[in-house]
Amino acid sequence: MSTAKFDTIGHYLLKRLHEAGVKHIFGVPGDYVLGFYDLMVKSQVNHIGTTREDTAAFAADGYARCLGLGALAVTYGVGALNTVNAIAGAYAESSPVIVISGAPGVREQRDDPLLHHRFGPFTFQREIFERITCASVVLNDPIIAFRQIDSAIAAARRCCKPVYIEIPRDMVAAEGYAIPAQPVEDSAGDKTALSEAVSETLALMAKSVSPMIIAGIELHRRGLQTMLLELVESAGLPVVATLTGKSVIAERHPNYLGIYEGAMSSEAVRYAVEQSDLIIMLGVTLNDVDTGIYTAKLDPHAMVRASLDEVVISAHRYSRIALGDFVSALLRSLKPKASALPGKPAEPAATDFPEQNRPITTARLIARLNQALGSDMIVVSDVGDCLFAAIDLKVQAQTEFLASAFYTSMGFAMPAALGAQVARPDHRAVILVGDGAFQMTGTELSTHARLGLNPIVIVFNNRGYSTERYILEGPFNDISPWQFDKLGEVFGPLTGYAVTTEEEFEQALIASLNNRTSPSLINVHLASDDASAAMRNLAKHLKSKISAS
């Protein structure tokens, strides 16, 4: 047996993760994973301790969205099960997160003692994660453990979904066996179908008067943003993004018109999309969020829809065509041209900001923030009105806006921003979060402070769950009134500001932009009935469903 440095199962797992681009693992220690943690400290992979296990999973999700793969390590039972919601969100939004769970040793499990953290047969935990991952393995056999590790990491990359790796604590230092890898099934697409789909698309484009592209989240996850940009510029086509696909293309690009989500869109974007005689839909997931609660008006007979493994053109369905292959082939076949573009919708303006004694509002906040966003900033938004208001934000470059826009899990932003800043240290996070979501996972701001990160946190404080309030008012939407701006006394180096007017917001924003050494938090007190236009439209449609049920 080789005595190389990475000859144990634990060493091999860390080595393969590092080679796959995972330089940091998030998590909370526990006795069943301590042996793996001890190895991690001595490896090239850095551990980032978080305040909770679910925030470790959100952080790994943010990391994966930036670098293509993320990981967390937790203990058995109480640790792993605390990540279920965040991993379900990563599965729903196609984020390749690797869940590493320590477990009781193989011998302990065989003897079946009454071990702590146990909640039934030892197989239960893996069975739970099988439902929310694309692959799950238990490293309880040294002969096949190396192959299991390689196949799990490969599955995360191939499927852009989470995977689960369970490592019993007595297997961490066990020697594994380098056996030949399993042959990979041929995943080559149908070349004939690809050729015919591209030919039909080109013929439709040649006849079209007002073709345009709707770009979606799958382009993000497959790393096809650059190819999308080349296609947009070569074909001279206008492009819009879905809400879940926001920042798939630089939002200040001249061909970019904005976010399309049916009735939730601006009138200019909605008109441009719905009057088009040919929609080329690339990597779009057809869910209720991206269709504006099914208010999108798109003619399927005037559409080319390319998803992960098929292309649908009117009534023609071409199977076994990878999204990347279709975009690449279309790009190669196009004859470059410059087309007249429809007028870009006007961006929210704040030229007169701040007005004296004017109460701050969501719309004016977003308009001012739009002017402040720089090329070194990445916006991470929680759900609620901060997400819907952020539709009007124009980030500088691609993949600079992260959100749980489809799974819509409250508490995503603060820990996901931690993962994003660790993954991209050349970027500064601007975190948009409601007061309710902050109360769920805001403790992770203390980790930002401990690591010397300098995010700018903007708390949309309207004293409750505003989205639910607009759908159905009730006392259940009220929350405790936290003094968020004073958290520096608890969390460590942190500068906080409480603002109610535009002048106060301006002063706090300028001070926060100038503070490069620690987090800044702006506690923005908004009227409880203040809301973005998109949220008002959304709530109107959702309210009708509640009242009809």
Residue 84 sits in the same domain as residue 221? no
- For residues 97 and 85, give the distance between their C-alpha atoms in angstroms, rounded to a whole number: 13
Q: Is the pLDDT of residue 41 over 70?
A: yes
Strand order across the 211-215 sheet: 256-259, 239-241, 211-215, 278-282, 303-306, 310-313, 316-319
Whether residue 182 is contained in a domain is answered as: no
- For residues 97 and 64, give the distance between their C-alpha atoms in angstroms, rounded to a whole number: 6
533: confidence class by pLDDT, cuts 50, 70, 90: confident
Q: Are 139 and 148 in contact (CB under 8 A)?
A: yes
Tens digits of residue pLDDT in 474-503: 888 888 889 999 999 899 899 999 999 999
pLDDT of residue 182: 67
Q: Is the pLDDT of residue 51 over 90?
A: yes
Tens digits of residue pLDDT in 498-517: 999 999 999 999 999 999 99
* Listed residues 333, 354, 371: the one ending a domain: 333
Phi and psi dihedrals of 297, rounded to 5? -115, 90
pLDDT of residue 483: 93
Mean pLDDT of 207-229: 94
Residue 156 sits in the same domain as residue 232? no
- For residues 341 and 238, give the distance between their C-alpha atoms in angstroms, rounded to a whole number: 6
Burial zone of 301 (CB within 10 Å; 0-12 exposed, 13-18 middle, 19+ buried): exposed
Residue 247 sits in the same domain as residue 303? yes
Residue 320 sits in the same domain as residue 402? no
Tens digits of residue pLDDT in 363-421: 999 999 999 999 899 999 999 889 999 998 998 877 789 999 999 999 999 999 999 99
Whether residue 345 is contained in a domain is answered as: no
Q: Are 54 and 86 in contact (CB under 8 A)?
A: yes
pLDDT of residue 341: 63
Mean pLDDT of 282-307: 90
Is the peptide bond between 354 and the residue preceding it cis, with omega within 30 degrees of 0? yes
Tens digits of residue pLDDT in 125-177: 999 999 999 999 999 999 999 999 999 999 999 999 999 999 999 999 999 99
Mean pLDDT of 429-433: 97
How many folded domains does the chain comprise?
3
Residue 372 sits in the same domain as residue 242? no
Whether residue 259 is contained in a domain is answered as: yes
- For residues 30 and 110, give the distance between their C-alpha atoms in angstroms, rounded to a whole number: 21
* Listed residues 107, 139, 171: the one ending a domain: 171
**Residue 433 DSSP symbol:** E
Residue 505 sits in the same domain as residue 428? yes
Mean pLDDT score of the chain, rounded to an integer? 91
Residue 27 sits in the same domain as residue 150? yes
Largest CA distance in the chain: 76
Residue 112 sits in the same domain as residue 248? no
Tens digits of residue pLDDT in 96-130: 999 999 999 999 988 877 889 989 889 999 999 99
Residue 103 sits in the same domain as residue 33? yes
Residue 164 sits in the same domain as residue 196? no
Q: What CATH number corresponds to the domain at position 427?
A: 3.40.50.970
CB crowding 358-373: b at 16 or more within 10 Å, else e: eebbbbbbbbbbbeeb
pLDDT of residue 134: 97
Whether residue 510 is contained in a domain is answered as: yes
Name the packing angle between helices 502-514 and 362-372 (round to 10°): 30
532: confidence class by pLDDT, cuts 50, 70, 90: confident
Q: Is the pLDDT of residue 547 over 80?
A: no
346: confidence class by pLDDT, cuts 50, 70, 90: low
Tens digits of residue pLDDT in 175-215: 999 877 666 665 668 999 999 999 999 999 999 999 999 99
| Nearest CA among 549, 389, 386, 388 for reference residue 472 | 549
Note down the domain range covering 476. Answer: 362-540
Please state the pTM of the whole predicted model.
Answer: 0.92
Strand order across the 46-49 sheet: 46-49, 24-27, 70-74, 97-103, 163-168, 135-138
- For residues 413 and 86, give the distance between their C-alpha atoms in angstroms, rounded to a whole number: 12
Per-residue tokens: 47: 């551990």
- For residues 19 and 295, give the distance between their C-alpha atoms in angstroms, rounded to a whole number: 45
Residue 326 sits in the same domain as residue 407? no
Whether residue 293 is contained in a domain is answered as: yes
